[in-house]
Structure formats: C-alpha cells, structure tokens
Amino acid sequence: MVRVTRTFTVSTPIEKVVEYLSDFGHAEQWDPGTKTCKRVDTGPVHEGSSWTNVSQFRGKETTLDYRLLKRQPRRLVFEGRNKRATSTDDINLSPVGGGTLITYEANIAFHGVLRLVGWAVQGEFNRLGDRTAEQMTRVLNAL
C-alpha cells in the first residue's frame, strides 16, 4: 500500500472549500495527475455520487471509477477502483482564522501481483503529493 499525507492551510473559508472539493470533477484543476474527471450521475453532489477519473502516472493512463463515500461538514472521502487498485482520498478540514486547514491523505492499495510493487513507487507518489498540495492550495486560494 502507498500512503501520502499532506497538511496545509488555504485562505478560503471551510464552507466554500467543502462545496468545491465535494465535486470530484474539480480534480482536473487541483490534481496534477488527473487528465479528465467526468461525473457519471446527475443532480446535486451527494454521498454516492460517482465520477470516471483518467489519471497519468509514470507515463501511463489509468481509469478509476470514483464514488463519494462521505460528505460531512469537515470531511470528504472518495474511493476510486479498477481491477488493479483501490484509491482512497480522505480530506479532513478545520476552520482556522478565516481560512481552512486541510489534511489530505491518499491511500492506494494495489491488487494482485501489483501488491508487491507498492514500496517501489512510494517516492514518486510522495512527489505527486507535494505537487497536489501546492496545486490545490493555489486553486482553493483563488476561489
């Protein structure tokens, strides 16, 4: 398993951050690994909403089907699956001053023989985590 955690602060109020991040389709803007992320269902975003996410890692594209598992005032949990991996994005939020403290944790559990290579890509996922925190900070501060 690969685990990446980053904690950072943005100047945007928590309510606006929750509303924005609840729509995983915005990952195209804040996740440097995401190429496309399209909503599958319709209507207001709610627990159970789903997206098809196409990401690029190590020069290869991979598609995961994501669902919003939890949407709480201070926590969002998304889970993406395909036959090779399960990715969980757990975003915890706290108000701080007029802004928001964000703890973003990504966990990738590989399936089958890929379970054996998780340790080999941890460093690359750490670098991607740094880039994600930087890009998410820029995007959220601009809201």
Q: What is the pLDDT of residues 25-57, one digit of tens each?
A: 999 999 999 999 999 999 999 999 999 999 998
- Type of residue numbered 73: P
Please tell me whether residue 134 adopts helix, strand or coil conformation: helix
Domain that holds residue 37: 2-141
Residues 6+ apart with CB under 8 A from 112: 84
Domains: count for the chain: 1
User: Phi, psi at residue 74, to the nearest 5°?
Assistant: -130, 15
Determine which helix (DSSP H) or strand (DSSP E) holds 142, and give its type and residue range: none
* Rg, C-alpha atoms of the chain: 15
3-state secondary structure at position 143: coil
* Euclidean distance between CA atoms 106 and 91, whole angstroms: 9
Percent residues over pLDDT 90 in the chain: 85
CATH number of the domain to which 112 belongs: 3.30.530.20
54-75 residue pLDDT tens: 999 888 999 999 999 999 999 9
